[in-house]
Structure 1
Amino acid sequence: MKIRMLPVALTAALSLILLLGGWFLYRQTAIERPIEKMLSQYPGVTSAQVDITQKQAVLKLDLQSDVDLRGMIAQLRKEEGALLKTRSIKLDIADHSTPEIDELWKQASFSVAEAMANKRYTMIPSTLSKIESENGNYTISSDMDDHYVYVALSSASDKKANKYIILPLAAAPGTGGQSNA
Protein backbone atom coordinates (compact mmCIF):
# COMPACT_ATOMS: atom_id res chain seq x y z
CA MET A 1 0.00 0.00 0.00
CA LYS A 2 1.44 3.28 -1.09
CA ILE A 3 0.75 6.39 1.03
CA ARG A 4 -0.13 9.43 -1.01
CA MET A 5 1.61 12.47 0.46
CA LEU A 6 -0.76 15.18 -0.80
CA PRO A 7 -3.89 13.90 1.01
CA VAL A 8 -1.89 13.22 4.18
CA ALA A 9 -0.35 16.73 4.14
CA LEU A 10 -3.74 18.35 3.46
CA THR A 11 -5.39 16.38 6.26
CA ALA A 12 -2.63 17.30 8.72
CA ALA A 13 -2.80 20.98 7.74
CA LEU A 14 -6.59 21.06 8.00
CA SER A 15 -6.48 19.35 11.43
CA LEU A 16 -3.91 21.83 12.67
CA ILE A 17 -5.96 24.80 11.43
CA LEU A 18 -9.12 23.46 13.10
CA LEU A 19 -7.34 22.84 16.41
CA LEU A 20 -5.65 26.23 16.54
CA GLY A 21 -8.74 28.02 15.30
CA GLY A 22 -10.84 26.29 17.94
CA TRP A 23 -8.41 27.27 20.69
CA PHE A 24 -8.31 30.88 19.46
CA LEU A 25 -12.11 31.04 19.30
CA TYR A 26 -12.43 29.51 22.79
CA ARG A 27 -9.87 31.94 24.23
CA GLN A 28 -11.66 34.91 22.69
CA THR A 29 -15.24 33.98 23.59
CA ALA A 30 -14.92 32.11 26.88
CA ILE A 31 -11.92 33.77 28.50
CA GLU A 32 -11.04 37.24 27.22
CA ARG A 33 -14.45 38.63 26.23
CA PRO A 34 -16.10 38.21 29.67
CA ILE A 35 -13.17 39.96 31.35
CA GLU A 36 -13.23 42.80 28.80
CA LYS A 37 -16.98 43.17 29.31
CA MET A 38 -16.64 43.32 33.11
CA LEU A 39 -13.82 45.85 32.93
CA SER A 40 -15.57 48.03 30.32
CA GLN A 41 -18.68 48.24 32.50
CA TYR A 42 -16.70 49.25 35.60
CA PRO A 43 -17.22 52.95 36.48
CA GLY A 44 -14.42 55.15 35.14
CA VAL A 45 -12.99 52.67 32.64
CA THR A 46 -12.96 54.22 29.16
CA SER A 47 -11.67 51.15 27.34
CA ALA A 48 -10.29 47.73 28.17
CA GLN A 49 -8.36 45.19 26.16
CA VAL A 50 -7.37 41.79 27.55
CA ASP A 51 -4.66 39.39 26.46
CA ILE A 52 -4.56 36.08 28.32
CA THR A 53 -1.51 33.83 28.16
CA GLN A 54 -0.67 30.67 30.05
CA LYS A 55 1.04 32.54 32.90
CA GLN A 56 -0.44 36.04 32.96
CA ALA A 57 -3.39 38.25 32.10
CA VAL A 58 -2.38 41.55 30.52
CA LEU A 59 -5.06 44.22 31.00
CA LYS A 60 -4.63 47.29 28.78
CA LEU A 61 -6.80 49.99 30.30
CA ASP A 62 -7.71 53.59 29.56
CA LEU A 63 -8.98 55.13 32.78
CA GLN A 64 -10.64 58.33 33.89
CA SER A 65 -9.43 60.16 36.99
CA ASP A 66 -11.93 58.70 39.44
CA VAL A 67 -11.37 54.95 39.12
CA ASP A 68 -11.11 52.76 42.20
CA LEU A 69 -8.32 50.45 41.00
CA ARG A 70 -8.33 48.29 44.12
CA GLY A 71 -12.08 47.80 43.83
CA MET A 72 -11.81 46.98 40.14
CA ILE A 73 -9.12 44.35 40.72
CA ALA A 74 -11.07 42.91 43.68
CA GLN A 75 -14.20 42.60 41.54
CA LEU A 76 -12.16 41.03 38.73
CA ARG A 77 -10.64 38.47 41.10
CA LYS A 78 -14.09 37.74 42.58
CA GLU A 79 -15.91 37.29 39.27
CA GLU A 80 -13.12 35.66 37.28
CA GLY A 81 -11.15 34.12 40.14
CA ALA A 82 -11.06 30.57 38.77
CA LEU A 83 -9.65 31.80 35.48
CA LEU A 84 -7.06 34.13 37.03
CA LYS A 85 -6.03 31.91 39.94
CA THR A 86 -2.90 30.56 38.22
CA ARG A 87 -2.16 33.73 36.24
CA SER A 88 -0.55 36.95 37.37
CA ILE A 89 -2.28 40.20 36.45
CA LYS A 90 -0.26 42.84 34.63
CA LEU A 91 -1.87 46.25 34.29
CA ASP A 92 -0.95 48.42 31.32
CA ILE A 93 -2.66 51.75 31.94
CA ALA A 94 -2.75 54.50 29.30
CA ASP A 95 -0.67 57.52 30.26
CA HIS A 96 -2.64 60.76 30.63
CA SER A 97 -0.05 62.50 32.77
CA THR A 98 1.02 66.13 32.61
CA PRO A 99 4.41 67.60 33.54
CA GLU A 100 2.88 68.89 36.78
CA ILE A 101 1.57 65.44 37.74
CA ASP A 102 4.95 63.92 36.87
CA GLU A 103 6.60 66.48 39.15
CA LEU A 104 4.23 65.55 42.00
CA TRP A 105 5.07 61.88 41.55
CA LYS A 106 8.76 62.78 41.50
CA GLN A 107 8.29 64.50 44.90
CA ALA A 108 6.45 61.49 46.32
CA SER A 109 8.35 58.63 44.73
CA PHE A 110 11.33 58.60 47.08
CA SER A 111 9.18 58.51 50.21
CA VAL A 112 6.90 55.87 48.68
CA ALA A 113 9.91 53.75 47.64
CA GLU A 114 11.35 54.04 51.15
CA ALA A 115 8.03 52.97 52.70
CA MET A 116 7.79 50.04 50.28
CA ALA A 117 11.37 48.92 50.95
CA ASN A 118 10.89 49.08 54.72
CA LYS A 119 7.38 47.58 54.52
CA ARG A 120 5.98 50.59 56.37
CA TYR A 121 2.95 51.04 54.14
CA THR A 122 1.17 53.37 56.56
CA MET A 123 3.70 56.07 55.67
CA ILE A 124 2.42 56.24 52.10
CA PRO A 125 -0.99 57.93 52.69
CA SER A 126 0.47 60.50 55.08
CA THR A 127 3.26 61.38 52.63
CA LEU A 128 0.82 61.69 49.75
CA SER A 129 -1.69 63.78 51.73
CA LYS A 130 1.10 66.18 52.72
CA ILE A 131 2.08 66.64 49.07
CA GLU A 132 -1.60 67.00 48.12
CA SER A 133 -2.17 69.73 50.72
CA GLU A 134 0.84 71.64 49.37
CA ASN A 135 -0.57 71.40 45.83
CA GLY A 136 -4.27 72.15 46.15
CA ASN A 137 -5.11 71.76 42.47
CA TYR A 138 -4.27 68.04 42.51
CA THR A 139 -5.71 64.94 44.11
CA ILE A 140 -3.39 62.18 45.29
CA SER A 141 -4.73 58.97 46.74
CA SER A 142 -3.43 55.55 47.64
CA ASP A 143 -4.92 52.17 48.34
CA MET A 144 -3.64 48.68 49.02
CA ASP A 145 -4.67 45.05 48.72
CA ASP A 146 -2.87 41.73 49.20
CA HIS A 147 -0.90 42.14 45.98
CA TYR A 148 -0.36 45.83 45.20
CA VAL A 149 -0.15 49.39 46.45
CA TYR A 150 -2.14 51.69 44.15
CA VAL A 151 -1.28 55.38 43.82
CA ALA A 152 -3.49 57.73 41.79
CA LEU A 153 -2.61 61.32 40.93
CA SER A 154 -5.08 63.55 39.12
CA SER A 155 -5.73 67.18 38.34
CA ALA A 156 -8.77 68.91 39.81
CA SER A 157 -9.00 71.28 36.85
CA ASP A 158 -8.37 68.80 34.01
CA LYS A 159 -10.47 65.66 34.51
CA LYS A 160 -8.53 63.81 31.77
CA ALA A 161 -5.10 64.33 33.36
CA ASN A 162 -4.15 61.42 35.61
CA LYS A 163 -1.36 59.05 36.50
CA TYR A 164 -1.72 55.61 38.06
CA ILE A 165 1.17 53.80 39.68
CA ILE A 166 0.79 50.18 40.73
CA LEU A 167 3.53 48.86 43.02
CA PRO A 168 3.65 45.12 43.74
CA LEU A 169 4.08 44.16 47.37
CA ALA A 170 6.31 41.23 46.43
CA ALA A 171 8.68 43.04 44.07
CA ALA A 172 11.98 41.44 43.22
CA PRO A 173 14.88 43.04 45.12
CA GLY A 174 16.25 46.07 43.33
CA THR A 175 13.42 46.44 40.83
CA GLY A 176 11.57 49.22 42.58
CA GLY A 177 8.23 47.75 41.58
CA GLN A 178 6.28 48.17 38.40
CA SER A 179 5.17 51.58 37.15
CA ASN A 180 2.02 51.37 35.06
CA ALA A 181 1.33 54.93 34.15
Structure 2
Amino acid sequence: MQLRMVPIALSLLATLTLLFGGWFLYQKMEVEEPIKHEIGQMESAKLARLEVAKDRIQVDLTVTNPELFPREYQDLRVKLADLLQNKAVDITIHNNAKALEDIWTNGVFSFTEAVDLHEYSRIPQIVSQWKEAYRLDEASTQMDEENIYVYLKRGTDDFYTIVPRYPAKEVTARG
Protein backbone atom coordinates (compact mmCIF):
# COMPACT_ATOMS: atom_id res chain seq x y z
CA MET A 1 0.00 0.00 0.00
CA GLN A 2 1.53 3.24 -1.11
CA LEU A 3 0.69 6.44 0.82
CA ARG A 4 0.01 9.56 -1.17
CA MET A 5 1.95 12.43 0.39
CA VAL A 6 0.02 15.37 -1.07
CA PRO A 7 -3.40 14.42 0.41
CA ILE A 8 -1.79 13.60 3.76
CA ALA A 9 0.06 16.93 3.86
CA LEU A 10 -3.08 18.85 2.87
CA SER A 11 -5.14 17.04 5.52
CA LEU A 12 -2.53 17.83 8.16
CA LEU A 13 -2.39 21.48 7.08
CA ALA A 14 -6.19 21.79 7.15
CA THR A 15 -6.40 20.16 10.59
CA LEU A 16 -3.70 22.42 12.07
CA THR A 17 -5.31 25.49 10.50
CA LEU A 18 -8.69 24.63 12.03
CA LEU A 19 -7.16 23.79 15.40
CA PHE A 20 -5.03 26.89 15.80
CA GLY A 21 -7.53 29.14 14.03
CA GLY A 22 -10.22 27.99 16.45
CA TRP A 23 -7.95 28.59 19.42
CA PHE A 24 -7.02 32.06 18.13
CA LEU A 25 -10.67 32.91 17.51
CA TYR A 26 -11.59 31.69 21.01
CA GLN A 27 -8.85 33.89 22.54
CA LYS A 28 -10.08 36.94 20.64
CA MET A 29 -13.84 36.49 21.02
CA GLU A 30 -14.22 34.82 24.41
CA VAL A 31 -11.28 36.24 26.36
CA GLU A 32 -9.90 39.49 24.93
CA GLU A 33 -13.13 41.10 23.71
CA PRO A 34 -15.03 40.72 27.03
CA ILE A 35 -12.05 42.17 28.91
CA LYS A 36 -11.80 45.10 26.50
CA HIS A 37 -15.56 45.62 26.78
CA GLU A 38 -15.46 45.73 30.61
CA ILE A 39 -12.52 48.14 30.63
CA GLY A 40 -14.17 50.24 27.91
CA GLN A 41 -17.15 50.72 30.25
CA MET A 42 -14.90 52.32 32.89
CA GLU A 43 -14.98 56.10 33.22
CA SER A 44 -11.84 56.23 35.34
CA ALA A 45 -9.30 54.24 33.30
CA LYS A 46 -8.41 53.09 29.83
CA LEU A 47 -6.61 50.02 28.59
CA ALA A 48 -2.89 50.52 28.02
CA ARG A 49 -1.96 46.90 27.22
CA LEU A 50 -3.55 43.47 27.34
CA GLU A 51 -1.53 40.27 27.27
CA VAL A 52 -3.26 36.90 27.32
CA ALA A 53 -1.20 33.84 28.21
CA LYS A 54 -2.28 30.25 28.78
CA ASP A 55 -2.70 30.51 32.55
CA ARG A 56 -2.74 34.25 33.28
CA ILE A 57 -3.85 37.57 31.89
CA GLN A 58 -1.90 40.81 32.25
CA VAL A 59 -3.96 44.01 32.10
CA ASP A 60 -2.20 47.39 32.14
CA LEU A 61 -4.46 50.36 32.84
CA THR A 62 -3.92 54.10 32.62
CA VAL A 63 -5.95 55.92 35.27
CA THR A 64 -7.80 58.93 33.83
CA ASN A 65 -10.02 59.83 36.80
CA PRO A 66 -8.40 59.03 40.15
CA GLU A 67 -11.49 59.95 42.16
CA LEU A 68 -13.69 57.29 40.53
CA PHE A 69 -11.01 54.65 40.06
CA PRO A 70 -11.10 52.80 43.42
CA ARG A 71 -14.78 51.87 43.07
CA GLU A 72 -14.46 50.88 39.42
CA TYR A 73 -11.26 48.95 40.13
CA GLN A 74 -13.03 46.73 42.66
CA ASP A 75 -15.92 46.19 40.23
CA LEU A 76 -13.48 45.31 37.44
CA ARG A 77 -11.67 42.77 39.61
CA VAL A 78 -14.95 41.04 40.49
CA LYS A 79 -16.17 41.01 36.87
CA LEU A 80 -12.86 39.67 35.54
CA ALA A 81 -12.73 36.97 38.22
CA ASP A 82 -16.24 35.84 37.20
CA LEU A 83 -15.41 36.02 33.51
CA LEU A 84 -12.04 34.24 33.69
CA GLN A 85 -12.59 31.69 36.41
CA ASN A 86 -9.55 29.53 35.73
CA LYS A 87 -6.96 32.20 34.92
CA ALA A 88 -5.01 34.53 37.18
CA VAL A 89 -5.52 38.20 36.35
CA ASP A 90 -2.79 40.73 37.08
CA ILE A 91 -3.87 44.36 36.88
CA THR A 92 -1.08 46.92 36.70
CA ILE A 93 -1.38 50.70 36.74
CA HIS A 94 0.54 52.42 33.98
CA ASN A 95 0.62 55.99 35.44
CA ASN A 96 4.22 56.20 36.61
CA ALA A 97 6.08 59.33 35.59
CA LYS A 98 9.72 58.98 36.64
CA ALA A 99 9.94 62.26 38.59
CA LEU A 100 6.83 61.43 40.62
CA GLU A 101 7.93 57.83 41.08
CA ASP A 102 11.08 59.22 42.72
CA ILE A 103 8.90 61.19 45.16
CA TRP A 104 7.02 57.97 45.97
CA THR A 105 10.29 56.08 46.44
CA ASN A 106 11.67 58.75 48.78
CA GLY A 107 8.53 58.80 50.91
CA VAL A 108 7.50 55.15 50.84
CA PHE A 109 9.16 54.37 54.19
CA SER A 110 6.90 56.69 56.22
CA PHE A 111 3.90 55.59 54.15
CA THR A 112 4.63 51.89 54.71
CA GLU A 113 5.19 52.50 58.39
CA ALA A 114 1.74 54.07 58.68
CA VAL A 115 0.20 51.12 56.80
CA ASP A 116 2.05 48.48 58.84
CA LEU A 117 1.11 50.15 62.12
CA HIS A 118 -2.49 50.54 60.91
CA GLU A 119 -2.29 54.30 61.46
CA TYR A 120 -4.28 55.07 58.36
CA SER A 121 -5.21 58.56 59.54
CA ARG A 122 -1.52 59.53 59.09
CA ILE A 123 -1.55 58.71 55.38
CA PRO A 124 -3.40 61.86 54.16
CA GLN A 125 -1.00 63.96 56.29
CA ILE A 126 2.03 62.24 54.75
CA VAL A 127 0.75 62.75 51.21
CA SER A 128 -0.14 66.38 52.01
CA GLN A 129 3.44 66.93 53.18
CA TRP A 130 4.67 65.52 49.87
CA LYS A 131 2.37 67.92 48.02
CA GLU A 132 3.88 70.93 49.80
CA ALA A 133 7.50 69.75 49.80
CA TYR A 134 7.58 68.76 46.12
CA ARG A 135 5.13 71.42 44.83
CA LEU A 136 2.63 68.95 43.43
CA ASP A 137 -0.56 70.09 41.71
CA GLU A 138 -2.50 67.19 43.24
CA ALA A 139 -1.81 64.61 45.89
CA SER A 140 -4.65 62.43 47.13
CA THR A 141 -5.35 59.13 48.82
CA GLN A 142 -8.38 56.90 49.07
CA MET A 143 -8.91 53.69 50.94
CA ASP A 144 -11.29 50.77 50.81
CA GLU A 145 -11.43 47.40 52.57
CA GLU A 146 -8.57 45.95 50.53
CA ASN A 147 -6.33 48.75 49.21
CA ILE A 148 -4.98 52.23 49.61
CA TYR A 149 -4.91 54.32 46.42
CA VAL A 150 -2.33 57.09 46.04
CA TYR A 151 -2.36 59.70 43.28
CA LEU A 152 0.31 62.33 42.63
CA LYS A 153 0.24 64.91 39.82
CA ARG A 154 2.53 67.72 38.71
CA GLY A 155 1.88 69.39 35.36
CA THR A 156 1.17 66.68 32.82
CA ASP A 157 3.02 63.99 34.81
CA ASP A 158 1.10 61.73 37.12
CA PHE A 159 1.73 58.72 39.34
CA TYR A 160 -0.86 56.28 40.62
CA THR A 161 -0.27 53.29 42.82
CA ILE A 162 -2.33 50.76 44.71
CA VAL A 163 -1.02 49.58 48.06
CA PRO A 164 -2.68 46.46 49.46
CA ARG A 165 -3.98 46.40 53.01
CA TYR A 166 -4.07 43.24 55.04
CA PRO A 167 -7.34 43.52 56.97
CA ALA A 168 -7.16 39.92 58.20
CA LYS A 169 -4.07 40.88 60.21
CA GLU A 170 -5.52 44.10 61.59
CA VAL A 171 -6.55 44.44 65.21
CA THR A 172 -9.84 46.19 65.79
CA ALA A 173 -11.31 47.44 69.03
CA ARG A 174 -14.84 46.33 69.80
CA GLY A 175 -17.10 47.46 72.52
TM-score calculated relative to the size of structure 2:
0.71
Higher relative contact order (CA 8 A, sep 6+): 1
Q: Does 1:89 align with 2:89?
A: yes
Counterpart in the other structure of 1:139: 138
2:43 partner SS: coil
Alignment root-mean-square deviation, CA: 3.1
- CA deviation map 1:44-69 (0-9, x unaligned): 33444322223322112233253544
CA contact (8 A) 1:45 1:62 kept: yes
Shift of 1:95: 4.2
CA contact (8 A) 2:60 2:92 kept: yes
* Structure 1: unaligned runs, 5 residues or longer: 171-181
Within 2, Cα distance between the matches of 1:146 and 1:85?
23
Larger radius of gyration, structure 1 or 2? 2
How many residues align? The count is 165
CA contact (8 A) 2:80 2:89 kept: no
**Change in 2 beyond 3 A, CA 1:137/1:144:** closer
CA contact (8 A) 1:65 1:154 kept: no
* Structure 2: unaligned runs, 5 residues or longer: 167-175
Q: Does 1:3 align with 2:3?
A: yes
**Change in 2 beyond 3 A, CA 1:85/1:151:** farther
Q: Does 1:102 align with 2:80?
A: no
2:26 partner SS: helix
CA contact (8 A) 1:45 1:67 kept: no
Within 1, Cα distance between the matches of 2:66 and 2:132?
19
Shift of 1:15: 1.0
Within 2, Cα distance between the matches of 1:83 and 1:22?
20
CA contact (8 A) 1:65 1:162 kept: no
Within 2, Cα distance between the matches of 1:97 and 1:89?
24
What letter matches 1:16 in structure 2? L
Counterpart in the other structure of 1:166: 162
Counterpart in the other structure of 2:173: none
Q: Does 1:78 align with 2:78?
A: yes
Within 1, Cα distance between the matches of 2:85 and 2:118?
28
